[in-house]
Structure 1
């Protein structure tokens, strides 16, 4: 008899639970209400089977509370999941922006380097063109003659500063070479005049080297009296000379 009452009580409780779930509010909270009703009913059944009608009432209350706690736990877990997903999304976006910034900085650095390289090439080209023009002008327009006394191969001291200035100017242009052409007047034997012209060329060469011009950039050529033209005494000095001319070394 007791068992029959228990079954009847439990059945009535379940019917009441189902009716409550069916006729409840059809709002957005219906799912939570249905779940809570199920928890309520399951708790009632378990409690009723164990402790009779009083146990069913207690079990129903416990089942409802258990279900409510479970829903809260699930909602908390869902919020944590959403939070983690949000952090992950923000971190991914930050990493993506960092990569884009790094790529942009790399492109800027590359463009700056390329611009500098192009500017350097342009300046170098202009510099070469200007330098070649200057060299051509020096080659065509710069020359100097060192004159000597009769039967003498010593450079006059008054000419040494001019030789020094010339050496300093030429030293700044490694492409330039110095050509020395030495002469003597017609007086005397040809062999002696040739030797004298060689000595004069050597004297000018030594003066240029002493002024700082490397010896490997100086070339000498002695001609003796071969090109002597003067026949009067006043003009003989112009045959006793060493001509200094410049040439461009194409191998430099």
Structure 2
């Protein structure tokens, strides 16, 4: 029995010495060797007690395999946990990317709706937008002042828009007087808009006197509609294209 214990101690000492020497040469595998040594020493003692020197050798081999298996299982658990964390990060990034894409799409839709609403409003203002005047007068009446206030607001909110102002007169009076009156009416509308913050460089004026009546037949009612300044909203691109 003593011989068996002595043999176990000798084998254990030799094994530990070899393991220490190998640990110095290969520092990167320290954990793996330690785990194997734990299993090895445990197997030696167990084998020596049970079956003597031969049992110690067999136990040492078995213990080494057990220690390595325990170390591999621990490493596997760590790797599995790390992979799970990485997968969670990937899932979070994918969710953020999807949310960003959804927000971008919603922003595009909102911008498109705003542009469509602006185009609709622009068309409403452009269609039949005239400022009418009393006979021989260039004074803007309160009803038309309210309309011009809306036009000024639109222009101030939309820097890309310009405004064409065209003055007219009815067919009563001589052509020279009517021409001057139509020019004065266009100038009054331009001045009104400038007073409300519209840059004068964005307002183009012209006048045609009584040369462009709306109806061929002259009457009291037709003369009323001929005394006018028409307003036409255009974009910067349209204005540039019209000059070429």
Structure 1 unaligned blocks of 5 or more? 1-39, 41-60
Query: RMSD between aligned alpha carbons?
Result: 3.6
Residue 120 of structure 1 is aligned with which of 107, 126, 129? 107
Q: How many residues align?
A: 189
Find the aligned partners of 2:104 and 2:157 in 1 and give their Cα distance.
26
Find the aligned partners of 1:155 and 1:64 in 2 and give their Cα distance.
124
* Corresponding residue of 2:6: 66
Deviation at 1:86, TM superposition (A): 3.0
Whichever of the two has the greater Rg, that structure is 1
* Corresponding residue of 1:15: none
* Corresponding residue of 2:132: 146
Q: Report SS of the residue matched to 1:92.
A: helix
Deviation at 1:246, TM superposition (A): 3.0
Structure 2 unaligned blocks of 5 or more? 13-38, 44-62, 239-244
Find the aligned partners of 2:142 and 2:125 in 1 and give their Cα distance.
25
* Corresponding residue of 1:249: 235
Residues 197-232 of structure 1 show CA distances to partners (whole Å, capped at 9, x for unaligned) of 212211110001212333344222201232367878
Residue 221 of structure 1 is aligned with which of 196, 202, 206? 206
- TM-aligned CA distance change 1:156 to 1:122, over 3 Å: closer
* Corresponding residue of 1:204: 189
Residue 97 of structure 1 is aligned with which of 80, 84, 89? 84
Find the aligned partners of 2:124 and 2:225 in 1 and give their Cα distance.
27
TM-score, normalised via structure 1 length: 0.58
